């Protein structure tokens, strides 16, 4: 899932404690804490329960998209799942720069996420 913070943010926005949300989706409070802190990933059934409860897409909870109600087409989803942006070798190899300064790994991840979002919004422009 890579970003359990989304669950924590959604829970907090609803004014729920971990215990309250855990009860609503049928998991233990400890399990929910592990999800929110990226120590464990929820199984598919739990992920869908969380998405349904918060009225967001599973893709949003899995950090595949930054738009809560957007789902990715299967080809894009597979690509996103298989691309590991934290791979330092990949970032080192391409050494992305802006204004003559090399991007940090975090800046490179945000840049790639921005390009993905732009391509999702304008799929006909992607070649």
Q: Which residues pair with 102 in a beta bridge?
A: 97
Q: How many CB atoms lie within 10 A of CB 72?
A: 21
Res 126: pLDDT: 43
Instruction: List pLDDT tens digits, range 18-54.
Output: 999 999 999 999 999 999 998 888 988 898 899 889 8
More confident residue, 118 or 89: 118
pLDDT band at 17 (very low <50, low <70, confident <90, very high): very high
101 φ, ψ to 5°? -110, 135
Q: What pLDDT, on the 0 to 100 scale, is given for residue 19?
A: 96
Give pTM, 2 decimals: 0.55
Interatomic CA distance for residues 100 and 50, integer angstroms: 43
Q: Is the pLDDT of residue 120 over 90?
A: no
Contact between 34 and 1 (Cβ < 8 Å): no
**pLDDT-derived band of residue 116, with 50, 70 and 90 as boundaries?**
confident
User: Residue 97 carries which DSSP code?
Assistant: E
pLDDT (tens digit per residue) in 53-94 = 988 888 788 877 776 765 556 666 566 555 555 556 666 666
Quickly list H helices, 14-127: 18-25, 29-36, 44-54, 58-61, 74-82, 88-94, 105-121
- Exposure string of 89-119, with b = 16+ CB inside 10 Å and e = fewer, is eebeeeeeeeeeeebeeeebeeeeeeebeee
Quote the CA–CA distance of 76 and 85 in Å, as a whole number. Answer: 15
């Amino acid at each position: 899932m890579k970003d359990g913070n989304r669950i924590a943010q959604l829970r907090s926005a609803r004014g729920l404690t971990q215990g309250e949300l855990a009860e609503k989706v049928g998991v233990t409070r400890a399990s929910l804490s592990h999800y929110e802190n990226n120590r464990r990933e929820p199984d598919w059934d739990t992920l869908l329960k969380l998405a349904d409860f918060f009225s967001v897409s599973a893709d949003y909870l899995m950090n595949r998209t930054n738009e809560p109600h957007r789902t990715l087409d299967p080809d894009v989803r597979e690509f996103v799942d298989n691309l590991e942006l934290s791979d330092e070798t990949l970032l080192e190899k391409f050494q992305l720069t802006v204004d003559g300064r090399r991007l940090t790994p975090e800046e490179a991840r945000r840049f790639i996420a921005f390009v993905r979002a732009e391509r999702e919004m304008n799929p006909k422009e992607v070649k």
